Amino acid sequence: MAQSFPKARVNQLIGEDFGQSLENVGFGIIDGLLGSDWTNGLRQEIKKLYDQGLLVPNKTYYEGRKDENGRFVYGYSVSKPNVHELDLSTIELQKRKELDIPHLNALYEDETIQKSINRAAPDFNITKLDIKIQYNAGEGGCFPMHFDTTTNVSKRRVTGTLYLNPDWIPEHGGQLRVYPFPYDIMDVDPLNDRLVLFSSHETLHRVMPSHAPARYCITLWYYVDQDSPQSLQIPRFSWLRQVEGIGFLLNPNTRKLLSKIVYDNHWRESVRQSFGEQKEEIEKILANHNKEVEHIKKQLSPEILDFLLQCVPLAHGEDFLKLARPIKGE
């Protein structure tokens, strides 16, 4: 049996400050979310499922498009060496109970985190959770740059990544790298009991190569039934709006495209690092990426393109750093 879920602690940590972070910079970091009994329990259960061979190689999907029936389909997928995962929603309830994973089941079933997010950031109004567990066996295992969804693919709106790595040291790498366009990158260490919550369709991120013997992460995906116009149009970085002429960088519709140009080198590097020896696939992904970048560039005037390449990403200012600072529990 797992101890009862630490509701009071979660309620207190995912509060107003977190809401401010999510709405303004697109992500929030919370430290000491569940306590060590819970993180130990979760980690041991993931290891047990991994040892039982229930985790499968993670895949990244490319070239999403609508098929002739208007349904969204992907062109192809590429697997990432050393990254093993299991989506708990793919296991029937009865089977999940039989697996004897009380901490994971409680995390899946308890609604405290979801309710706290809704209270702190009401624009999202999330109603459903999916959980994916991940065991990264090291040797450079990583994720390429990606958004967790786009609004025409799914109603996934908030992503949480909960890390379970008490022995993490900088040499292990495996940081979550967040790209809060138009600001510069931010690396978040995958520290034990740290939860990072971010906007699923807007926050570009990747996982840096991990060299730890094992890196544990649980991904929480929260869905909405229906989008509120506010949740899709959060302008973010309100302080930056005061700088004349910079508004176009903050437009929710274009931010995503412009970030592909500005972080182009990062994008390529992350693809090369993520897929090991699968050279053909890597070249195909990069060729498509190039096409997309060239297409976006063509839509921009030379002055704007010049400005983007010279001046963006912006250095983190005081306002940014205050909002990006971890919120700490015990």
Query: Interface residues with Fe ion (CB under 5 A)?
Result: 148
Closest CA to 294 of 264, 254, 270, 273: 264
* CB 116, CB 14: distance < 8 Å: yes
Residue 252 is which amino acid?
P
Is residue 86 close enough to count as binding ligand AKG by CB under 6 A? no
Pick what 142 binds: ligand AKG, Fe ion, none; C-beta below 5 to 8 Å, kind-dependent: none
Site for ligand AKG in 176-205 (CB under 6 A): 176, 190, 205
From the list Fe ion, ligand AKG, none, partner contacted by residue 161 (C-beta under 5 to 8 A by kind):
ligand AKG
Q: What x-and-dash track marks residues 206-235 binding ligand AKG by CB under 6 A?
A: -x---------x-x----------------
Q: CB-wise, 176 or 308, nearer to ligand AKG? A: 176
Sign of CA pseudo-dihedral 312, 315, 321, 324: positive
Question: To the nearest whole angstrom, how small is the minimum distance from the Cβ of residue 324 to ligand AKG?
Answer: 16
24 binds, among ligand AKG, Fe ion, none (CB under 5 to 8 A by kind): none
Smallest gap from residue 206 Cβ to Fe ion (A): 8
Residues between 251 and 290 with contacts to ligand AKG, criterion CB under 6 A? none
**Cα→Cα distances 151→226, 231, 256, Å:** 11, 11, 12
* Integer Cα distance of 159 and 198 in angstroms: 5
Kindly state the smallest distance separating residue 206's Cβ from ligand AKG, in Å.
7
> What is the rounded CA–CA span in Å between residue 67 and residue 124?
29
| Residue reference for tokens 């260490």 | 189
The residue number whose beta carbon is nearest to Fe ion equals 148
Which amino acid is it at 329?
G
| Interactions with ligand AKG, residue window 114-153 (CB under 6 A) | 132, 134, 143, 148
Give the C-alpha separation, 238 to 236, whole Å: 6
Handedness of CA 108, 110, 113, 115 (dihedral sign): positive
Which of 241, 2, 222 minimizes the C-alpha distance to 102? 2
- CB of residue 161 to Fe ion, shortest distance in Å: 7
**Cβ nearer to ligand AKG, comparing 85 with 123:** 85
The partner residues of 328 in beta bridges, in order of sequence, read 31
For Fe ion, the closer of residues 115 and 256 by Cβ is 256
Which residues lie near ligand AKG (CB under 6 A)? 132, 134, 143, 148, 161, 176, 190, 205, 207, 217, 219
